[in-house]
Structure 1
């Protein structure tokens, strides 16, 4: 159960921002005793990979805050975020983290299953995020883009941290996410209705 929460939290984080959970896993594996990635995934903590992920993170951090460019970035990220979700889900299943000692059952039955599950989770989050972002940008003429993007980055950091250090918190964060998105969509629908 804890393993499933950890990996689901990492894949959810990737749906918001592909690079935050990848960087978190790589940096924590490289510099702390809190995460020990399985042998097949140690490339995430390689120096060059961390540099590449760091540069891509900065590019997305900036691009996602600019109205118009954020929409183009979301199209591009439709491939990247689900892939990152698959990677984080699968690598998290075999990782030794503060709260997860092993996920050998799923890993031994076929890593591709974990990758597919992670892809689906991250894709669902990404699509929901993209839809919400498009509606918010339309309703606010793009003014909301930096605020929403910052909230999405914060959500990615929260899900990544919860997944590694307190996986039970992933359930709470998912509930808050669902309630928040429903409330935001309700407000946006009310704004779009013409008043007579």
Structure 2
């Protein structure tokens, strides 16, 4: 399927690639390259490198590694921490590559948008998984991981089929993630306040004589 998008549609593609990179970077690299090489998706010129067999092989291997690491409580949070150095700049770079080097202004805007959305998605994912890891049962962790495995390909498919609808869906998902981060921050502040009160009360209790 060959596509010809205008600037608004390309910005939707850039935003979606950036956001999805914050959740599953290697899935974005592999599936986008695979779609361009074998599914007839007309990728923007700046993304043609994703279709190279070596890139597909490397991104496919890392996709498998990330898939397995994301299913193990504790290891998933460590993987997220390490991936902080990769997901956000990669999301910005992919978003900018949608416009290539011929439209520097739009490419720069896309990089800012893609990097910001990647950071939001990565922060929401990392914070949620860290909170869920406090639970001794693994099923909620696996459920969240599988949801991410399904959500990223779904958004990539949608943005090539209907970039306007993808932009709407992306706006809803981003808002939900921001609300989730706000809620988690509120719980952390409440927990810290209770801890300070407990420590303050313990320090003020008189010491009983022996």
Same fold (TM over 0.5): yes
| Higher Rg of the two aligned structures | 2
Aligned pairs (5 A) from 1:118-137: 118-137=114-133
Task: Evaluate the alpha carbon distance shift between residue 34 and residue 164 of structure 1 in structure 2; reply closer, same or farther with a 3 A threshold.
Answer: same
- Determine helix, strand or coil for the equivalent of 2:124: helix
Task: Evaluate the alpha carbon distance shift between residue 52 and residue 142 of structure 1 in structure 2; reply closer, same or farther with a 3 A threshold.
Answer: farther
Aligned pairs (5 A) from 1:22-171: 22-38=29-45, 40-94=46-100, 107-109=103-105, 111-138=107-134, 140-141=135-136, 143=138, 144-170=140-166, 171=168
Which whole-Å deviations, capped at 9, do the CAs of 1:129-186 have from their partners, x for residues lacking one? 1111111222x23522211111112121122112222112221254156448857958
Give how far 1:112 is off.
Answer: 4.6
Q: Distance in 1 between matches of 2:127 and 2:146?
A: 16
Task: Evaluate the alpha carbon distance shift between residue 74 and residue 109 of structure 1 in structure 2; reply closer, same or farther with a 3 A threshold.
Answer: same
Q: Distance in 1 between matches of 2:74 and 2:67?
A: 14
- Structure 1: runs of 5 or more not aligned: 95-102
Asked if the contact 2:91/2:114 (under 8 Å) is kept, the reply is yes
The alignment's TM-score, normalised by the length of structure 1, stands at 0.77
Task: Evaluate the alpha carbon distance shift between residue 156 and residue 89 of structure 1 in structure 2; reply closer, same or farther with a 3 A threshold.
Answer: same
Task: Evaluate the alpha carbon distance shift between residue 47 and residue 63 of structure 1 in structure 2; reply closer, same or farther with a 3 A threshold.
Answer: same
- Structure 2: runs of 5 or more not aligned: 1-7, 192-210
Asked if the contact 1:44/1:50 (under 8 Å) is kept, the reply is yes
Between the two proteins, the alignment pairs up a number of residues equal to: 179
Task: Evaluate the alpha carbon distance shift between residue 147 and residue 49 of structure 1 in structure 2; reply closer, same or farther with a 3 A threshold.
Answer: same
RCO (CA 8 Å, sep 6+): is it higher in 1 or 2?
A: 1
Does 2:17 match 1:20? Answer: no
Which whole-Å deviations, capped at 9, do the CAs of 1:54-86 have from their partners, x for residues lacking one? 000000000011001001100111122113312
Equivalence for 2:204: none
The alignment's TM-score, normalised by the length of structure 2, stands at 0.72
**What's the RMSD between the two structures over aligned residues?**
2.9
Which whole-Å deviations, capped at 9, do the CAs of 1:104-138 have from their partners, x for residues lacking one? 6xx33374553343222101110111111111222
Q: Distance in 2 between matches of 1:89 and 1:145?
A: 29
Asked if the contact 2:36/2:42 (under 8 Å) is kept, the reply is yes
